[in-house]
Chains A and B, each alone.
Chain A
Amino acid sequence: MSNQEQYQQVFMECFGVEADVLGDNFTYQCVPAWDSVGHMGMIAALEDTFGIMMETDDIVDFSSYTKGMELLGKYGVTF
């Protein structure tokens, strides 16, 4: 699976959504599942998937599906 597919997969599994909603408008708290508990679960799933460890500031700044892809670039995960 490509990085893009794996990234999408994590969002779909963590938040129980379909691929077609994932885009610029998919932001923190846009669905009930993406609350602060869901956020930490999603971060842990991304870390496991890509074998990375994110810094605290990046977890705070991870405000949307699209922003997340930009932040993962810092850890060598490119799309």
Chain B
Amino acid sequence: MTVDDYLAELAQWLEIPPFALAAGDKTPRLAGALARLTQHHRRHCPAYARLLDIFGDDATAAAGLADIPFLPVRLFKEYELASVAPDQVFKTMTSSGTSGQAVSRIFLDRATAAGQSKVLARLMAELIGRQRLPMLIVDAPGVLRDRQRFSARGAAILGFSLFGRDLTYALDDDLQPDLPAIEAFLTRHAGAPILVFGFTFLIWQHLYLGLRARGRRLALDNALLLHGGGWKKLQEQAVGNAEFKAGLKAQTGIERVVNYYGMVEQTGSIYLECPAGHLHASLFSDVLIRNPADFSVLPAGQSGLIETLSVLPFSYPGHALLTEDLGVLLGEDDCPCGWRGKYFTVTGRAPSAELRGCSDVRASHE
């Protein structure tokens, strides 16, 4: 598989509506593309090839999605895995490591970076159409100040800022609502559709609670709120998706609230929440839920580790990743929202997610 093959195949996929294909059409297509990526990475990433040899993977036997060899996502924190020559690396993405944790390093060539943007644009078009909307970013302007090394938060804001115009930050550098900036933005775009984007926790803790404390309500009734980054901090406060939506509606009037699930290791092929409140795999991605005890694939309704598949990673072997998130598959092709594909929910982090590397072994014996 050459970079031209990769781009040509992606261009074909981008012509297909991303939530329209049923399993019978989608799965063989996806499995074929992922098997070709496995071969590509085996050939161009020696460390990946060694891993496949150790696991005894016979790549030619890969028939279905479950047969695609997957890597634990934490490997990208411990090793530099790339399938292109160093001079082809155009951008290095790093994950947000909380204090003391290692960060993932993801090496992008131009083709993979362009593919990520195009797939994200295709998915966003399903939500907001092809027009770029006035965009309110629920973060502080300082998040992009250090341009040499901004956080995963900054990288996500930049990625999504492609879909906005008149980018306006809703929080000041103390993470308090910047009411003059918000009011001026709303005056400029009165009555127009608006895109609000931010991290789930910041939206709740700093925008919603900040507004509530001040007794202020915003007129964002025409807005679509897109948010991601996980529920962990809100679960500690017992705030779930329903409370989140009800609170936001009360304080800002926003009715269209869309959660997304995604990670820096598979930027672009994100999972979007449908009107029925379920996260959906698109044409470009899929999920498998695996039993943490033996890594077998679990049926719908059972909680396990989420494996994410993506057709995008060409410059690094990240097309099949076992995450440290727990989730439940809810169904496939029959979501009441009408979108085809698998739909699922994320229920939390795996308890062992704090452990890393060799220390896993020690901890399990003590």
Measured CB to CB, the residues of A under 8 A from B are: 29, 35-38, 40, 44, 47, 53-57, 59-60
Contacts and interface: CB of A to CB of B under 8 A. Distances in A.
Interface string B105-140: 000000000100110010010000011100000000
A47 B158 contact: no
Interface in B130-175: 130-132, 144, 147, 158, 161-163, 165, 167
A27 B161 CA distance: 21
Given A29-B90, A57-B121, A59-B162, A37 B144 contact: yes
15 contacts: A29-B90, A36-B91, A36-B158, A37-B158, A38-B147, A47-B165, A53-B131, A55-B132, A56-B124, A56-B130, A56-B132, A57-B118, A57-B121, A59-B162, A60-B114
Contacts of B167: 40, 44
B101 to A, nearest CB: 25
Nearest to A59: B162
Nearest to B162: A56
Given A36-B158, A37-B144, A40-B167, A60 B132 contact: no
Contacts of A53: 131-132, 165
A48 to B, nearest CB: 10
Contacts of B165: 44, 47, 53
A53 B144 CA distance: 23
A60 B114 CA distance: 7
Nearest to A60: B117
Interface in B44-97: 90-91
Contacts of B163: 56
Contact of B162 (A29, A35, A60): A60
The 10 closest A-B pairs by CB, nearest first: A60-B117, A56-B121, A36-B158, A56-B162, A37-B147, A40-B161, A37-B144, A59-B162, A55-B130, A56-B163
A29 B117 CA distance: 16
A57 B147 CA distance: 24
Contacts of B91: 36
Given A56-B132, A60-B118, A40 B124 contact: no
Contacts of B161: 40
Contacts of B118: 57, 60
Contacts of A47: 165
Contacts of A37: 144, 147, 158
A47 B118 CA distance: 21
B158 A40 contact: yes
Contacts of A44: 165, 167
A59 B164 CA distance: 11
A60 B147 CA distance: 19
Contacts of B132: 53-56
Contacts of A35: 147
A15 B347 CA distance: 45
